[in-house]
Structure 1
Amino acid sequence: MCGLSGYILLSKKAKATPEILKEMNAKIAHRGPDADGFYFDNQVGLAHRRLSIIDVSAGQQPMHSQDNRYVVVFNGEIYNYLSVNKTLEKRGYQFQTHSDTETILNAYDAWGKECLEHLNGMFAFAIWDKQEQVLFIARDRIGEKPLFYTIIDDTLFFASELKALKAHPSFDFDMCPKAIEDYMTFGYVPEPKTLYRHSNKLCSGHYFLVDSSTKEINPVEYWDVPHGDAEFEAPSDEETISRLKQVTDLRMMSEVPLGAFLSGGVDSSAVVAMMSQLQDEPVNSIAIGFDVPEVNESEFADIVAKRYQTNHTLEVVDHESFEIVDRLAEMYDEPFADSSALPTFKVCEAARKKVTVCLSGDGGDELFVGYRRYRLHANESKVREKLPLWLRRVIFKPLAFLYPKLDWAPRFLRAKTTFQSLALSHSEAYLNSISKIRLDERKSLYSSSFKQKLGDYCSVQVFKDLVNGKSFSDPIKEAQYLDLKTWMPGDILTKVDRASMANSLEVRVPMLDHTFIEWAFALPTTFSLKGKNGKAGLKKALEPHLSEDNLYREKMGFSIPLAEWLREPLYQKLQSALNEPDFVNQALFDVQKIDILLANHKKGNHDHSDALWSLFMLSNVICSDAKLKASRA
């Protein structure tokens, strides 16, 4: 695992210096503490930070092809590099190292941009073709590894993290109003946007080519999450386990200590079970516990650890762990409102004391209908399909307005929320169900001046753009597709990447192997959803490998007692952040409305933790940026 950065001049008047790139690269030293490296010519600069995992002695970067035509910087792992090497050797290619970086170089020489079809892994890389004077930049299919870019002084700069781009003295900190609306909706800024108007993320499953004549960056999609109808019958238990074992085995190749996160839930427990059956020595397992029983599931991790006799480590998180709250803005570079970033950092910190590579169970909920929201969405969709949209708006919109809001109540009593949802299209309704902050509350928080800047933009446009031109006969498949295009790269994988890289730890995710995703999406929804039970087929297949408590207990999720912590141990820090002049002076929000929100939450009248945490994280980033800008004045 590594970090990369670089630039390419886009005109004769373009400006960039080796000193700027060295400063950028220094900002991501945590991603690769083992080594750094640089390449410069008249048009391009490439930089790299290395965390050695495979071919520790010979995988230095930037790496040049044997004929010296290509040079590459690469962040990630190519899991099938040995099989790709065999294919390339049959075509006459020779290998000087056992590094997957050399595989990428030879694959690009052999197949050009089609090399991406041959690579199975998590990656972001840039290849400079000295002969054609063309730079090729690509990102993995599901977005496990990040890539940001911006144009400054007619020069394209790119890097693994925004902090490297911010290191440029002319970085444009101008915030994008649409990105703020998206953030307040999702709790993160979905790709390709960033918080900053003139900086972008390269979307997962995309690449672009750029040379000195390039005027605009136009990424090309090379892979998409499947979105057709089911193609396969429900698999046997044996096939399900075989496929899970195969993608797990592929991610266990390492020359450094290897382990796994273990929450005690279905997915992480499944990965540990597969690992235990694939290696002779005990698995190194790492779990997080909380001092609040309602969110503590460490006892279920213990069940798996004892069954498979793992080398188990438990890290307990309490409110004394708050010192990392101040580091979140530095870690993420743009606002990120998933509060599980705190325990994720702590579990990565604990893991790094034992191992350099850790496997994770992420992806199971999205692939096998593990979230309750999928089932609720499907039930509401049945009503939508019986009535046209115009009629539903006529019937349910007034009911939603008249009915008292009962968001605190059990779902079946939350009629206002249900009426609101039934008055919407499928994608609008799903956005409504997953929003950190609902549309009416967002609008009430925004200042008049910010509403003017925002115009008629609403975050539902993110979903509309994604489903445009696609046909979904199954609303659950549509919701899963949207999650894998937004929630997965924007929240889950961003959180895992930043938390792990901040601790110089590599995390691998077996269930996000693209072949596993393609297989899972081709299965009928009935394989996973049996009545009210999600993940039914996966759980059944795992019954010989895991206990009933691990498979069939009520889902807890990986969360902290945020509402409670914001009322007491974090309250002063929260209040201070929301009153910071650098934040208030942006005039994004109605200050009085924020004060009311804060007071009602403090009294325990309402749970406004999602909104307050979102504002807290946004304030931290804005204030951090203000300090950086002031230091350059």
Structure 2
Amino acid sequence: MCGIVGLVDTKAMRDVDGKLLHRMNESQFHRGPDEGGTHLEPGVGLGHRRLSIIDLSSGQQPLFNEDHSVVVVFNGEIYNFQALAEELTRLGHRFRTHSDTEVIVHAWEQWGERCVERFRGMFAFGLWDRNTSTFFMARDRLGIKPLYYAVLDDGMLIFGSELKTLLAHPRMRRELLPEAVEDYFAYGYVPEPKTIFRHALKLSPGHTLTIRRGMPIPQPREYWDVAFKPHAPMDEQEAATALRERVHEAVSSHMLAEVPLGAFLSGGVDSSAVVSAMASLSKEPVNTCSISFDDAKFDESRYAQEVAERYGTRHHVEQVATNDFALVDKLAALYDEPFADSSAIPTYRVCELARKRVTVALSGDGGDENLAGYRRYRWHMMEERLRSRLPLSARKPIFGLMGNLYPKADWAPRVLRAKSTFESLARDSVEAYFHTVSLLGDKLRRKLFSANFRRDLQGYEACQVLRDHAAKAQTDDALSMVQYLDMKTYLPGDILTKVDRASMAHALEVRVPLLDHELVEWISGLPSSLKLKGAEGKYIFKKSLEGDLPHDILYRDKMGFAVPIGQWFRGPLRDVLRRTLLGPTLASTGIFDMAFVAEMIEMHQSGRRDFTAPLWSLLMFESFLRQTLAGAGDPDEGWYRRVA
């Protein structure tokens, strides 16, 4: 686990500023406090910050091939590197280290751009081949590791593990992208490949980019996607047995390390399954970490304790106060662009706890997307059955009218929120799912944005992100489709981003065995009826674990990492919220209808409506503007420029 950075002249061989490269690299010191290194040659500068995990003595980067004509900087882990090294050695390549990084340079020499297809792991890397004047960068299949890049006006490409590395370059323009602002207030994050900035991009998961000096810069190439290829028929018991074996194999492959290793243990199904597998594979007790809350409504530590006792783990628990809002401002600095998932707060705390004990932690992230664990999948499938009975041309006017007439009831259980259901039934499947996952719905975003900003969007709507992915999905199955949409958006844009930044803030490597791509491919081929059976999500996963975990762990209601944001806004953060959102920062952008912002605050704090999501989104956006952009950019251009 590391941080990478670089500058590559795509047009000529101009000298690279070594001091600038050093500053860019040091901006991500937290990602790799053990060592740092840079490489400079005409037209190329590469930097690396290292958190030592494998081959502690000789895995320094940047790392070269035998004649120093190929050099790489790499963030992540290649779990099958030993088998690849043996294969490459038989093909005539000579290795100087025992690190997974060296496999990349030799794999590039042997297989070129297709080398990534041979890697099993989480990775983001940039590689320079002097012999062919080629720069190659790649990101792992599911987007576990981040990779940002921009091409500057002078043809210099800059890249790094976090946006802050790009922002350290004085020529990096910081103009906001209107479409990304719209996306943020719909999803709570900026989906790939956009960033909040007009002139910077994320390399999408499962993509590579090959640039040859002096040639036009092409579009990134996709090398992997979830295929949903059905397996040969198998009965329920066969599927459960095979799934358990494959989960154990994935966990085993992720346990390779030369430093202390442990696991997050929330007491939910996914983290408990990972700990169960680790315990069966380890000769020593597993190190597990949990946080508890001082409010029973948010605390599930007793379930984590039950699993820890069952497997005799070295369990560490620390209590977090439910009024732990000291991190609100710090989050903006961590994420570099607006990020509205409030569970980033407890995630930061559990990473902080884990780093006191271990350097590597395994997590259960990815289980919900893979195996249909979210409640919203159940609701979507119920609505799909209703949608299938009437064509859209009939549903839209009938249910659209009912949705407009029915009163809004945010306070009520989902089953009683008929307005939301009616609105979903008036939409097609993709738009309905967008309506389900949106942090702020279409009507609310239109009210929030100023008339000028709505014109600048030129008709763009955030639902287009899901439509574009849906058009590429290799499945017609309704459940598989929404799982696919989450794998392309919510998983990399929210879940994995949240964990990467929160963990790397503490120099902690987090591995996600349930997102091993071979496991993901296999699970995608299971029938949807084994993933969501009636109202039971993760059905076959839970069946596979019945011999390993107690019934109350497997079949209790999902809690999640919730924090009482809405209560904070009516209590300890009441005045802070009003002062911050109605202050000069948001008003100066011209993006928002400030009268409506004031109205939302008043209605929320009086208890008449629950505007927790939009107010938290605004708070994080304001903090991003104030901390990340304060004093930056071209004063004649500003943060946000109107479309002409």
- TM-score (norm. length: structure 2): 0.96
Maintained 8 Å contact 1:447/1:589: yes
Tell me how far apart the structure 2 counterparts of residues 408 and 232 of structure 1 sit (CA, whole Å).
44
Give 1:36's aligned residue. Answer: 36
- Is residue 2:397 matched to residue 1:390? no
Q: 1:606 to 1:142 in 2, by over 3 A?
A: same
| Residues 488-544 of structure 1: CA deviation (Å, up to 9, x unaligned) | 000000000000000000000000000010011100011122211111111111111
Shift of residue 292 of structure 1? Answer: 1.6
Tell me how far apart the structure 1 counterparts of residues 102 and 280 of structure 2 sit (CA, whole Å).
31
Maintained 8 Å contact 1:169/1:632: no
Maintained 8 Å contact 2:337/2:624: yes
* Pairing 1:243-258 to 2, within 5 Å after superposition: 243-258=246-261
Please state whether the residue corresponding to 2:445 is helix, strand or coil.
Answer: helix
Give 1:186's aligned residue. Answer: 187
Tell me how far apart the structure 1 counterparts of residues 383 and 7 of structure 2 sit (CA, whole Å).
49
Give 2:550's aligned residue. Answer: 547
Shift of residue 320 of structure 1? Answer: 5.2
Give 1:404's aligned residue. Answer: 407
Q: 1:622 to 1:325 in 2, by over 3 A?
A: same
Residue identity matched to 2:613:
D
Tell me how far apart the structure 2 counterparts of residues 453 and 13 of structure 1 sit (CA, whole Å).
39
Residue 610 of structure 2: which of 589, 607, 611 is its match?
A: 607
- Is residue 2:519 matched to residue 1:516? yes
Tell me how far apart the structure 1 counterparts of residues 322 and 252 of structure 2 sit (CA, whole Å).
37
- Is residue 2:104 matched to residue 1:101? no
Please state whether the residue corresponding to 1:629 is helix, strand or coil.
Answer: coil
Shift of residue 299 of structure 1? Answer: 0.6
| Residues 96-153 of structure 1: CA deviation (Å, up to 9, x unaligned) | 2110001111111111111111100000001100100100000000000000011223
Give 2:223's aligned residue. Answer: 222
| Residues 343-363 of structure 1: CA deviation (Å, up to 9, x unaligned) | 000000000000000000011
Give 1:77's aligned residue. Answer: 77
Give 1:159's aligned residue. Answer: 160
Shift of residue 291 of structure 1? Answer: 1.4
Tell me how far apart the structure 2 counterparts of residues 28 and 436 of structure 1 sit (CA, whole Å).
30
- Is residue 2:356 matched to residue 1:353? yes
Shift of residue 628 of structure 1? Answer: 4.0
* Pairing 1:123-272 to 2, within 5 Å after superposition: 123-152=123-152, 153-227=154-228, 233=234, 234=236, 235-272=238-275
Shift of residue 229 of structure 1? Answer: 5.4
* Deviates further, 393-402 or 613-622: 393-402
Tell me how far apart the structure 2 counterparts of residues 251 and 279 of structure 1 sit (CA, whole Å).
12
- Is residue 2:4 matched to residue 1:7? no
| Residues 170-198 of structure 1: CA deviation (Å, up to 9, x unaligned) | 22111011001100010000000000011
Tell me how far apart the structure 1 counterparts of residues 180 and 389 of structure 2 sit (CA, whole Å).
35
Please state whether the residue corresponding to 2:630 is helix, strand or coil.
Answer: helix
Maintained 8 Å contact 2:137/2:210: yes
Maintained 8 Å contact 1:357/1:506: yes
Alpha carbon RMSD of aligned pairs, Å?
Answer: 1.7
Q: 1:227 to 1:537 in 2, by over 3 A?
A: closer
Maintained 8 Å contact 1:14/1:154: no
Residue 290 of structure 1: which of 289, 293, 299 is its match?
A: 293
Maintained 8 Å contact 1:54/1:255: yes
- TM-score (norm. length: structure 1): 0.97
Maintained 8 Å contact 1:15/1:155: no
Tell me how far apart the structure 2 counterparts of residues 401 and 155 of structure 1 sit (CA, whole Å).
52
Maintained 8 Å contact 1:290/1:317: yes
Tell me how far apart the structure 2 counterparts of residues 607 and 367 of structure 1 sit (CA, whole Å).
31
Maintained 8 Å contact 1:230/1:521: no
Shift of residue 18 of structure 1? Answer: 1.6
Residue identity matched to 1:188:
Y
Please state whether the residue corresponding to 2:514 is helix, strand or coil.
Answer: helix
Please state whether the residue corresponding to 1:386 is helix, strand or coil.
Answer: coil
Shift of residue 620 of structure 1? Answer: 0.5
Residue identity matched to 1:154:
G
Maintained 8 Å contact 1:527/1:536: yes
Residue identity matched to 2:151:
I
Tell me how far apart the structure 1 counterparts of residues 410 and 325 of structure 2 sit (CA, whole Å).
29
Please state whether the residue corresponding to 1:468 is helix, strand or coil.
Answer: helix
Maintained 8 Å contact 2:124/2:138: yes
Shift of residue 285 of structure 1? Answer: 0.4
Residue identity matched to 1:310:
T
Maintained 8 Å contact 1:363/1:511: yes
Please state whether the residue corresponding to 1:289 is helix, strand or coil.
Answer: strand
Please state whether the residue corresponding to 1:627 is helix, strand or coil.
Answer: coil
Give 2:447's aligned residue. Answer: 444
Shift of residue 389 of structure 1? Answer: 1.8
Residue identity matched to 1:160:
S
Residue identity matched to 2:149:
Y
Q: 1:231 to 1:222 in 2, by over 3 A?
A: farther
Residue identity matched to 1:311:
R
Give 2:20's aligned residue. Answer: 20
Maintained 8 Å contact 1:264/1:302: yes
* Deviates further, 599-608 or 269-278: 599-608
Tell me how far apart the structure 2 counterparts of residues 228 and 519 of structure 1 sit (CA, whole Å).
8
Maintained 8 Å contact 1:63/1:73: yes
Please state whether the residue corresponding to 1:323 is helix, strand or coil.
Answer: coil
- Is residue 2:339 matched to residue 1:339? no
Please state whether the residue corresponding to 2:365 is helix, strand or coil.
Answer: coil
Shift of residue 392 of structure 1? Answer: 1.7
Residue identity matched to 1:557:
G
Give 1:46's aligned residue. Answer: 46
Tell me how far apart the structure 2 counterparts of residues 14 and 422 of structure 1 sit (CA, whole Å).
58
Residue 534 of structure 1: which of 534, 537, 540 is its match?
A: 537
Residue identity matched to 1:600:
M
Shift of residue 406 of structure 1? Answer: 2.3
Q: 1:448 to 1:631 in 2, by over 3 A?
A: closer
Give 1:496's aligned residue. Answer: 499
Tell me how far apart the structure 1 counterparts of residues 15 and 218 of structure 2 sit (CA, whole Å).
18
Gaps of 5+ in 2: 637-644
Q: 1:266 to 1:99 in 2, by over 3 A?
A: same
Shift of residue 84 of structure 1? Answer: 1.1
* Deviates further, 132-141 or 150-159: 150-159
- Is residue 2:396 matched to residue 1:381? no
Shift of residue 232 of structure 1? Answer: 5.0
* Pairing 1:427-438 to 2, within 5 Å after superposition: 427-438=430-441
Give 2:564's aligned residue. Answer: 561
Residue identity matched to 2:139:
R
Residue identity matched to 1:125:
F
Shift of residue 584 of structure 1? Answer: 1.4
* Pairing 1:102-117 to 2, within 5 Å after superposition: 102-117=102-117
Q: 1:628 to 1:286 in 2, by over 3 A?
A: farther
| Residues 48-90 of structure 1: CA deviation (Å, up to 9, x unaligned) | 0000000001000000101222000000000111111122122
Tell me how far apart the structure 2 counterparts of residues 69 and 232 of structure 1 sit (CA, whole Å).
50
* Deviates further, 380-389 or 308-317: 380-389
Shift of residue 604 of structure 1? Answer: 2.1
Maintained 8 Å contact 2:295/2:322: no
Q: Percent identity over the alignment?
A: 47
Q: 1:244 to 1:171 in 2, by over 3 A?
A: same
Please state whether the residue corresponding to 2:208 is helix, strand or coil.
Answer: strand
Maintained 8 Å contact 2:410/2:609: no
* Deviates further, 395-404 or 450-459: 395-404
Residue identity matched to 2:476:
S
Shift of residue 228 of structure 1? Answer: 5.0
Gaps of 5+ in 1: none
| Residues 186-227 of structure 1: CA deviation (Å, up to 9, x unaligned) | 000000000001110000000011132244341000001224
Maintained 8 Å contact 1:54/1:254: yes
Please state whether the residue corresponding to 1:431 is helix, strand or coil.
Answer: helix
| Residues 219-260 of structure 1: CA deviation (Å, up to 9, x unaligned) | 000001224556653444322211111000101010000000
Shift of residue 30 of structure 1? Answer: 0.4
Q: 1:318 to 1:57 in 2, by over 3 A?
A: same
Give 2:640's aligned residue. Answer: none
Please state whether the residue corresponding to 2:191 is helix, strand or coil.
Answer: coil
Tell me how far apart the structure 2 counterparts of residues 537 and 626 of structure 1 sit (CA, whole Å).
47
Q: 1:232 to 1:339 in 2, by over 3 A?
A: farther
- Is residue 2:375 matched to residue 1:372? yes
Maintained 8 Å contact 1:241/1:542: yes
Maintained 8 Å contact 1:527/1:537: yes
Residue identity matched to 1:25:
N
